[in-house]
Amino acid sequence: MKKNGPLALAFHTLFVVVMLAPIVVVCLVAFTPEGFLSIPTTSFSLRWFKAIANYPEFVRAFGTSLWLGALSSFVTVLVAVPAALALARYRFRGRDALSALFLSPLMIPHVVLGIAFLRFFTLIGFGGTFLALLIAHIIVVFPFALRLTLAAATGMDRATEMAAISLGADGFTLFRRVTLPAILPGIVSGWALAFIQSFDDLTMTVFLATPGTETLPVRMFLYIQDNIDPLVTSVSASVIAITMTVLVLLDRFYGLGRVLTAKGDAGR
């Protein structure tokens, strides 16, 4: 295979710089010592990170987002693992329809889902509750958990299971001692991706969140709509740092490439 020419490398450099520019700018401005939006040149300051503590609504929204992400990704995994096993193991009538239904939250615009959830939960009397938010998040992150678990279950070597059966393992032992350990990496990365998706979701959540159940992205969005100041950049930089930490852990554990492929394939 031939090498890239200097022109290609120049294009590549420019491309990467533009791709990273908005993220880098947010993180730089977050360290400004000034009271207005500026890129720090002579000194860096943590004053805007300390300022977050004076805005309890950001702290509360952060707590809501963490809880929501942890709970929704956990429940999603509980429901997605058996569904993934069903889709991976059996060929049955209606299998394709089922799989399309489970992946449909990737296809349906999140605005439409947000509206549908808002209408539904308001009609049944759950409007504005944390429970409504939780159920909605389970639906939206479900495809990601399903995809990664499905990939692990499909790629699994079934001979070990056959051996366990022939040695007399019953159904539950088989699952706990053989199947579960084999697909665990897929489950964990599916859980992590589901958590990140829930933690970051704005479009669907903005319809359901009320002042008591605001998540961090919703709080940030509403804040930005009024004015943009260094405070929201330091909040964003913190969110970016948290996401990066999860990503690095995920990369150690499972390999980020596979996770990103599952996310990037959205809509297919």
Partner 1 sequence: MSAAIDSLPASAAPSRETRAAWALALPALMLFTGVVVIPLAMTVMLSFHDWGQYKGIEPVFILKNWREIASDPYYAEMFSRTFRVAALATLITAVLGVPEAYILNRMNSPWKGFFLLVILGPLLISVVARTLGWALLFGGNNGLANKLMMSLGLIASPIRFMFTETGMVVALAHAMMPFMVLAVWTALQRIDPQIENAATSLGASPFTVVRRIILPQIMPGVLSGAIIVFSLSASAFATPAIIGGRRLKVASTLAYDEFLNTLNWPLGAAVAVLLLAALVLIVVGSNALIERRYAELFR
CB of 115 to partner 1, least distance (A): 5
With a CB cutoff of 8 Å and minimum separation 6, the contacts of 121 are: 127, 129, 132, 135, 136, 208
Q: What's the chain look like in SS3?
A: CCCCCHHHHHHHHHHHHHHHHHHHHHHHHCCCCCCCCCCCCCCCCCHHHHHHHHCHHHHHHHHHHHHHHHHHHHHHHHHHHHHHHHHHHCCCCCHHHHHHHHHHHHHCCHHHHHHHHHHHHHHCCCCCCHHHHHHHHHHHHHHHHHHHHHHHHHCCCCHHHHHHHHCCCCHHHHHHHHHHHHHHHHHHHHHHHHHHHHHHCCCCHHHHCCHHHCCHHHHHHHHHHHCCCHHHHHHHHHHHHHHHHHHHHHHHHCCHHHHHHHHHCCCC
CB of 243 to partner 1, least distance (A): 5
CB of 237 to partner 1, least distance (A): 8
Choice between 184 and 244, CB closer to partner 1: 244
Choice between 127 and 185, CB closer to partner 1: 127
CB of 14 to partner 1, least distance (A): 9
CB of 214 to partner 1, least distance (A): 13
CB of 6 to partner 1, least distance (A): 12
CB of 71 to partner 1, least distance (A): 15
The whole-angstrom separation of Cα 237 and Cα 29 is 9
